[in-house]
Each structure stands twice: as structure tokens, then as C-alpha cells.
């Protein structure tokens, strides 16, 4: 028996989330690698799953936790053997396949990547899907030709997990980063990560004109809706916007003007089903370019039992940075 967060669907459609004990027999039969999870984390999607605020979970019962890091216990997959250190991000884990907010998990070997030697299991989960997504965004901007001398980079949702890591990455690469946040009291925190200035999210969150004064060479957007539309409207000619989130909404209430009049590129960033080569490249860059000290600055560690209350906090926007879950306490 081992500890896990278990989600069940009530008759009225609400979600029942409890800390309980389950055994290996309850783990998915289709997994070919059994792992010991040392650390997991709570992302926004995990918060939605645990609270039931959005229909994230599509198979019941479910162990949430889209991220995990630890050690392989047993494997029938040719690429993995007992003792191997792994990192897992996404692939529908915690949605349709039992996840990593538990002391054990049974996963598909094709979903796992080898944890870089420079990154501990705890450090990997301090980065998590949020940080890995931030790196995918940063790489996408670089590949689109947005360089450190191109101009200012806007990061929206800056005090969240994606935003915090994006600031740390891009500032470390020499970019001039402007942070947008609704938590103006976090200005010192964001500047310590590398932001040169902080603006109130209210400047971007209301409906705006299709084209506005050009400012940003590039944007990392984790917010969507009007914020993304305004960011596009303010992006300079030939600039690029990497979109990876929906904190404000799924809608895109804008126009084609930035695309056809300024040649702006909208880059969709998917971290859930990204191919393995992209994942490995992103984690290699994270290991090389993201200082442990900056990650520690944005990290709060909690125990597995705390995940239930912290899931509510992350949905309500009360969390800054990253939540690391030690599943063994």
C-alpha cells in the first residue's frame, strides 16, 4: 500500500478528492514502467483536476499529478531498467492515466525522459511542466528570430509558474524582460528573477484596439483572451508571441491586423504531447541555463496532504512561482 491523492466523481458531478492509500493492483495495466515517485508538483491543470473547477479528468477514479520525478522500480520497456532516474511531464497523465501525486505510479516508458545529472528530482519538480513549457516558449522565440538585441520581451502571468521561469530563463540569456502581473506587490520578487520592469495586468486585460503602439519584440503569454490579443496588437513588426496558457480565458477576441499588417507570428506551444526530442532539448537547456538559486527563489515545498488545500489556492491565484510536493511527507 502507498499514499496517493485519489479523485472520484460524485453523483452530482462534483469531484471528491482525498488523501488515501492504494496498491499496485489499482494502477493502470497499460503502463510498462513502475516508478517510485520522489517529488511531484501542482500545476494549474492539477488544481483544476483536484478542485473539479474544469472537466480536466476524463477517467475515474484518478490520481492527479501531471509531473513526476524519481526512480524506476521495474520495467518491461527496453529503454528503462530499475534504478534509472526519470522525469515525466504531461501525456495525459493525471487526466486519463493515473498520475504522480502518489508515492508510486505505473507509466509508459515512451513518456519518460532521463533526468539530467545536473538536476535533482526535487529540482526537476521545481521546474515541472511550467518551467519546461517556459523553456519551450523561449526556444520558440529564439528559433523565430527574436534575439536579445531585438527589443523588449513581455511575459504575462509573470508571478505564476510559467511566467516566473520564463523571466529567469530569458533574463539569463540577456533579454530585456518586462513582467505583467496582477500582483503588483510582487514587483521585487519579479525583478529579482531578472525582470527590468513590472506592469499591471490591467493594462492588457481589457478590450483594446486591433493595432496599438509597437513595443514588444516577443511575448511569452500564459493568460490568453484579451491579454493575448493586446499583446499581439503591441508586438513590433516581425515579432513573435508564444502562447501557452489560458489563465484569463480560452477565447481570442481579436483581429487579423497584427498578422497581415505587421507580420507578427503567433506560436502555439503545446507541452502535453510534445515529441520526445523537443522534451530532451528543453530539459538539456534547463539543466544548463537555469540556475538552481533562481529556481529555489520561486519554490515552495509542501507535503502530499497539503496538495488538497494548495490546489484551491492555485486556482484562486494565491500562489506565486512553483509548488513542489514531497510525496513522502
pLDDT single digits (tens) 266-321: 999 999 999 999 999 999 999 999 988 888 888 999 999 999 999 999 988 888 88
What is the reported pLDDT for 319?
86
Q: Does 16 score more than 90 pLDDT?
A: yes
CB-CB contact of 46 with 65 (8 Å): yes
For residues 103 and 11, state if they share a domain: yes
Percent of residues, the chain, with pLDDT higher than 90: 91
Residue 292: predicted pLDDT: 85
- Domain termination residue (choose one: 247, 268, 289): 268
The domain that contains 23 carries what CATH number? 3.90.180.10
Q: Say if strands 15-22 and 2-9 run parallel, antiparallel, or are unpaired.
A: antiparallel
Q: Is residue 293 part of a domain?
A: no
> Which one has a higher pLDDT value, 183 or 5?
5
Residue 193 maps to a domain = yes
Q: What tens digit of pLDDT does each residue of 155-196 get?
A: 999 999 999 999 999 999 999 999 999 988 999 999 999 999
235 membership: H or E segment, kind and range: strand 235-243
Residue 321 is assigned to a structural domain of this protein: yes
**85 and 185 together in one domain:** no
Residue 168: HSE in the Cβ half-sphere, 13 Å Cα cutoff: 32
The answer to whether residue 72 sits within a structural domain is yes
CATH number of the domain where residue 212 is located: 3.40.50.720
Same domain, 148 and 61: no
Are residue 216 and residue 251 in the same domain, yes or no? yes
Its domain, for residue 34, covers 2-115+298-326
Based on the structure, what is the number of domains in the chain?
A: 2
Across the chain, mean pLDDT equals: 96
Helix (H) or strand (E) holding 217: strand 216-221
| 3-class secondary-structure state, position 315 | helix
Is there a contact between 5 and 65 (Cβ–Cβ < 8 Å)?
yes
- Residues 218, 224, 226, CA angle at the centre, nearest 5°? 95
Chain segment 70-120, per-residue pLDDT in tens: 999 999 999 999 999 999 999 999 999 999 999 999 999 999 999 999 999
Residue 264 cell numbers, joined = 507578427
Residues 105 and 68 in one domain: yes
Please indicate, yes or no, whether residues 306 and 224 belong to a single structural domain of this protein.
no
Asked whether 100 and 88 are in contact (CB, 8 A), the reply is yes
Residue 218, strand partner residues: 153, 240
Which H helix or E strand runs over 236?
Answer: strand 235-243
Does 57 fall in a domain? yes
Same domain, 71 and 135: no
Report the C-alpha gap between 325 and 329 in whole angstroms.
9
User: Does residue 249 belong to any structural domain of this protein?
Assistant: yes
Do 145 and 258 fall within a single domain?
yes
Check residue 119 and give its pLDDT. 94
Cα 229 vs. chain centroid, distance in angstroms?
A: 21
Which stretches of the chain are DSSP H helices? 44-51, 121-143, 161-172, 187-193, 202-205, 225-233, 257-261, 276-289, 292-297, 307-315
User: Which of 213, 220, 214 lies closest to 194, judged by CA?
Assistant: 220
Inter-residue contact 204 to 156 (CB < 8 Å)? yes
Q: Which three cell numbers stand for residue 313?
A: 489556492
Residues 66 and 314: beta-carbon distance below 8 Å: no
Contact 91, 111 (CB under 8 A): yes
- 255 phi, psi to nearest 5 deg: -135, 175
Contacts of 44 (CB under 8 A, 6+ apart): 160, 161, 245, 247, 314, 315
Note whether 257 and 303 are same-domain residues.
no
Q: How far apart are CA 198 and CA 180, in angstroms?
A: 6
CA–CA dist 16, 263 (Å, integer): 48
Is residue 281, in this structure, part of any structural domain at all? no
Same domain, 133 and 95: no
Q: Are residues 207 and 263 in the same domain?
A: yes
- The answer to whether position 120 is within a domain reads no
Residues 60 and 84 in one domain: yes
User: What would the grid cell of residue 220 be?
Assistant: 511569452
Amino acid at each position: 500500500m502507498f499514499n496517493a491523492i485519489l479523485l472520484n466523481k460524485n453523483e452530482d458531478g462534483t469531484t471528491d478528492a482525498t488523501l488515501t492509500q492504494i496498491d499496485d493492483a489499482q494502477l493502470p495495466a497499460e503502463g510498462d514502467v513502475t516508478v517510485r515517485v520522489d517529488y511531484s508538483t501542482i500545476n494549474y491543470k492539477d488544481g483544476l483536476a483536484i478542485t473539479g473547477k474544469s472537466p480536466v479528468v476524463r477517467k475515474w477514479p484518478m490520481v492527479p499529478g501531471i509531473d513526476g520525478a524519481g526512480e524506476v522500480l521495474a520495467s518491461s520497456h527496453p529503454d528503462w531498467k530499475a534504478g534509472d532516474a526519470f522525469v515525466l511531464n504531461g501525456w495525459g497523465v493525471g487526466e486519463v492515466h493515473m498520475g504522480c501525486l502518489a508515492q508510486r505510479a505505473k507509466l509508459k516508458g515512451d513518456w519518460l525522459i532521463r533526468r539530467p545529472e545536473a538536476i535533482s528530482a526535487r529540482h526537476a519538480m521545481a521546474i515541472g511542466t511550467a518551467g519546461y513549457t517556459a523553456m519551450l516558449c523561449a526556444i520558440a522565440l529564439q528559433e523565430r528570430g527574436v534575439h536579445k538585441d531585438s527589443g523588449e520581451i513581455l511575459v504575462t502571468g509573470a508571478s505564476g509558474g510559467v511566467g516566473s521561469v520564463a523571466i529567469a530563463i530569458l533574463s539569463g540569456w540577456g533579454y530585456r524582460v518586462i513582467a505583467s502581473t496582477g500582483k503588483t506587490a510582487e514587483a521585487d520578487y519579479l525583478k529579482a528573477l531578472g525582470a527590468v520592469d513590472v506592469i499591471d495586468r490591467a493594462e492588457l486585460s481589457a478590450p483594446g484596439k486591433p493595432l496599438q503602439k509597437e513595443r514588444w519584440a516577443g511575448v511569452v503569454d500564459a493568460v490568453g483572451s484579451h491579454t493575448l490579443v493586446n499583446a499581439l496588437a503591441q508586438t513590433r513588426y516581425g515579432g513573435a508571441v508564444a502562447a501557452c496558457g489560458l489563465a484569463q480565458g480560452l477565447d481570442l477576441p481579436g483581429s487579423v491586423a497584427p498578422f497581415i499588417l505587421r507580420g507578427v507570428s503567433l506560436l502555439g506551444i503545446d507541452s502535453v504531447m510534445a515529441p520526445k526530442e523537443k522534451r530532451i532539448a528543453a530539459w538539456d537547456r534547463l539543466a544548463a541555463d537555469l540556475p538552481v538559486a533562481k529556481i529555489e527563489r520561486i519554490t515552495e515545498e509542501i507535503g502530499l496532504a497539503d496538495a488538497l488545500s494548495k490546489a484551491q489556492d492555485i486556482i484562486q491565484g494565491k500562489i506565486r512561482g512553483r509548488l513542489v510536493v514531497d510525496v513522502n511527507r
